[in-house]
Amino acid sequence: MISVEEALGKILSYVDVLEAEDELILSSLGRVLAEDIYSDIDIPPLDNSAMDGYAVRAESTKGASSSSPRILLIIGEVAAGYIASEEVTPGTTIRIMTGAPVPKGADAVVQFEDTDEEKRKAAKKPLSEISILRQAAKGLNIRQAGEDISRGSLVLKAGTVLRPQEIGVLASLGRDVVPVIRRPVVAVLATGDELVDIKEQLPPGKIYNSNTYSLAAQVSRYGGVPKILGIARDSIKALEDKIKQAHDADMLITSAGVSVGEYDVVKDVLARLGEVTFWTVRMKPGKPLAFGVLNLGKKKIPHLGLPGNPVSSMIAFEQFARPAILKMLGKKEFAKPTIKARSEDRIANRDGRRVFARVRVTKRDGQYFARLVGPQGSGILTSMAQANGLMIVPEDKAAIEAGAEVQVQMLDWNEEM
């Protein structure tokens, strides 16, 4: 049996970062920037006002205070988006709004609160002049051109994961299309004679194919594009036909058909179409795992054969398929968010494997607690639905005692739980 880390290391050695593509900015959230982004403009483009107020020459306000105001002649008004046509000279001022370019001649802005504008308005006096009630230093309330981003500078580095704030920065540069690493297309194939498509009636002895849907949703959640190949029956011909449909995908994920006693069909087909290794991984659930590379047409396609049990396939996906997808997307962080919690249950580990127990994590008095979510059978998919984390019982531990500190991989990340 190989460890989870060994299996992951081998899988990752077969997948590479995909190529770049141009993507509309609103579709680039969560994607990885493929090129360094430089600015060809200054942001802001011009010196502009940080306040609603009066644009002045600082020297015109020298010695001003509420007891000794300086009275300036108002020669105009400028709003954001417009350029003042007048020039501010000694003794004059232009009324200015936040974001408006600073008029020629002005070198400071005095905010409304430091003038008698309110008083004049209350007295219904026309605003032809204004009293300045404080001395303004040069540069007061002025945002300088290029103070956020200067023309020619490196703004975002290749490899950056685009969050809403980076999307905003790109928009501020006027980019509507951005170069990002393309999303991997992940073909998802369920195998098994017992499976029925969810659109059909359920005959006796059959079960609905749920793995295709949980796995496809996992692919989407982590940034891949699922390509649903449906159900292959447990025959060489059926399996081969379906697998060939993955020829234009970046990865194939199959479920089931890899447990002892039945993987001969899968083994034969996979060996015919490429190279395949079957591993037993020191983990529970999810022990049987197939990994290989398929030669389908021009491309070599990595194939991950997950176990059939619905819980096993999802957990094995989290450990192996998720990092592979993230690597193809150009991401650098593959580890699931993991927290320290106190176990509320005793959990035995009888056969030296790493156990991923389904737990519900809650926070009480600043401390995380993890409680098992009922029956832990690998066929009990509702345990995944109730869980928000996977408690890790290390392979070298015979048991986790109630009250012990444990690591929990979070399936959902929410600080408050």
Beta carbon of residue 309, minimum distance to ligand AMP (angstroms, whole number): 4
Task: Tell me the number of residues near Mg ion by CB under 5 A.
Answer: 2
Helices (H) and strands (E) in the chain, counts: 9, 27
Here the tokens at position 364 are 């009480």
Q: Contact region for ligand AMP (CB under 6 A) — 33-41, 127-135, 257-265, 355-363? A: 257-265
Selected binder of ligand AMP within 150, 210, 277, 280 (CB under 6 A)? 210
Site string for Mg ion, 229-258 (x = CB under 5 A): ---------------------------x--
Q: Which of residues 53 and 286 has its CB atom nearest to ligand AMP in the complex?
A: 286
CA gap 161, 30 in Å, rounded: 6
Here the tokens at position 378 are 């690998």
- DSSP classification of residue 184: P
Beta carbon of residue 226, minimum distance to ligand AMP (angstroms, whole number): 14
Beta carbon of residue 212, minimum distance to ligand AMP (angstroms, whole number): 6
HSE (CB half, 13 Å, CA atoms) of 120? Answer: 15
Q: Contact region for ligand AMP (CB under 6 A) — 32-40, 162-170, 171-179, 306-314? A: 306-314
Beta carbon of residue 48, minimum distance to ligand AMP (angstroms, whole number): 60
C-beta atoms surrounding 80 within 10 Å: 12
CA gap 286, 111 in Å, rounded: 66
Task: Tell me the number of residues near ligand AMP by CB under 6 A.
Answer: 19
Q: Which of residues 89 and 259 has its CB atom nearest to ligand AMP in the complex?
A: 259
Q: Contact 116/133 with Cβ under 8 angstroms?
A: yes
CA gap 189, 228 in Å, rounded: 7
Residue 160, contacted partner among Mg ion, ligand AMP, none, CB below 5-8 A by kind: none
Site string for ligand AMP, 352-391 (x = CB under 6 A): ---------------------------x------------
Cα dihedral: 158, 164, 167, 171 (round 10): -150
Residue 302: which of 10, 1, 2 has the closest Cα?
Answer: 10
The verdict on 269 binding Mg ion (CB under 5 A) reads no
Here the tokens at position 118 are 């309110």
Selected binder of ligand AMP within 257, 285, 292, 302 (CB under 6 A)? 257
Give me the residue label for tokens 């022990």.
287
CA gap 54, 73 in Å, rounded: 11
Positions that interact with Mg ion (CB under 5 A)? 192, 256
Positions that interact with ligand AMP (CB under 6 A)? 190, 192, 194-195, 207, 209-212, 255-257, 259, 262, 307-310, 379
